[in-house]
Structure 1
Amino acid sequence: MSDRYWDAMDSPFGRMVAQVNGQGGLLSMSFFDHAEATAVAAGARHDAPRLAAVMAQLREYLAGTRQQFTLPLAPSGTPFQHAVWAALVQIPYGETISYGELAQALGQPGAARAVGRANATNPIGLIVPCHRVIGGDGSLTGYAGGLPRKQALLAFERQHKPQPGSNLALFD
């Protein structure tokens, strides 16, 4: 019996497929078309109720009302990859950072290429926002979902990013 479960939903950015383990930890989130969604889920069982929280948070993100995800993450990877992925979730919504800046933030200023490789192997796209990492010259570089999708995600976030002062308390 499989300890992996999946569900999928369509979005303006393409079909999204998520997988969780038996404890509800998010293993992966990828963009795929309908044919690929079936292939990626091979070995996992479809279980929409088990992934309800994941899909709800993705819908909130797509509505422009969620800027940060609060899901338990359980990706497989090396300690270095985990450090890079943990740093990715710290990149603010609607903002970008270069591979070099990310390497420096990790205390490894000469590791921009290694950071790039770890970024490329991120199994939890969008939720662990590898699309927010750009080239040192500001150019869009490398994205498993394709550069047009990366550009669209960044534009979407910039459009929905709260403006300073937009969340002022009504009563102090």
Structure 2
Amino acid sequence: MPQLSLHSPLGPLTLSEEDGAIISLDWGWGRDQTETPLLSQACSWLDTWFDDPAAQGAFPLAMAPFGTAYQKKVWAALCAIPVGQTVTYGALAAQLGGSPQSIGQAVGRNPIPILIPCHRVVSLQGLGGYSGDGGVDDKAWLLTLEGADFPGKN
């Protein structure tokens, strides 16, 4: 499986590709570095996005090997949340069916964070959780980068 890493403001990130689609984004530097056109394009876009979160980019994302039908439904809904905006776990649950907890579980299992913007889902009382290496600090940083208002923002 080809992987390509990049330096980012959040630390090293590694993208993985399978069958012509991005299948994961992980914190840390990948062991194997294989430059493919898709991985190069995605890394380049991420570099641009960290400077300008309004930058547009679309990549084939493969969620097929991961997740339940419900989780995939949640992940698709995350992609519809505009840059600089947030939605609560409860509002997303009302929209998709399920509970805020089931939304939180699906969001926490997102295999392609940032590209599938799970950082845009917050709780009523605060940020909620985040599975990136820096936890909620990374989530707050990403939301601040996008200019979003969120509970607990300074």
TM-score (norm 1): 0.77
Alignment pair present for 1:26 and 2:22: yes
Question: Residues 67 and 93 of structure 1 are in contact (CA less than 8 Å); yes or no, is this contact kept in structure 2?
Answer: no
Q: Secondary structure at the match of 1:46?
A: coil
Distance 1:134 1:68 in 2: 23
Match of 1:15 among 12, 24, 29: 12
Which residue pairs with 1:104 in the alignment? 94
Percent of pairs with identical residues: 34
Q: Which runs of 5+ in 1 are unaligned?
A: 39-44, 160-172
Over aligned residues, Cα RMSD in angstroms?
1.6
Distance 1:28-1:96 versus aligned 2 partners, 3 A rule? same
Which residue pairs with 2:147 in the alignment? 158
1:69 is displaced (CA, Å) by 3.3
Report how many residues are paired.
Answer: 143
Q: Secondary structure at the match of 1:84?
A: helix
Distance 1:87 1:62 in 2: 22
Alignment pair present for 1:58 and 2:54: no
Which residue pairs with 1:164 in the alignment? none
Alignment pair present for 1:46 and 2:29: no
Alignment pair present for 1:85 and 2:75: yes
Which residue pairs with 2:131 in the alignment? 144
**1:2-59 Cα deviation digits (max 9, x unpaired):** xx2100001111111100103x211001222x4xx33xxxxxx531134111112112
1:65 is displaced (CA, Å) by 5.4
TM-score (norm 2): 0.86
Q: Secondary structure at the match of 1:19?
A: strand
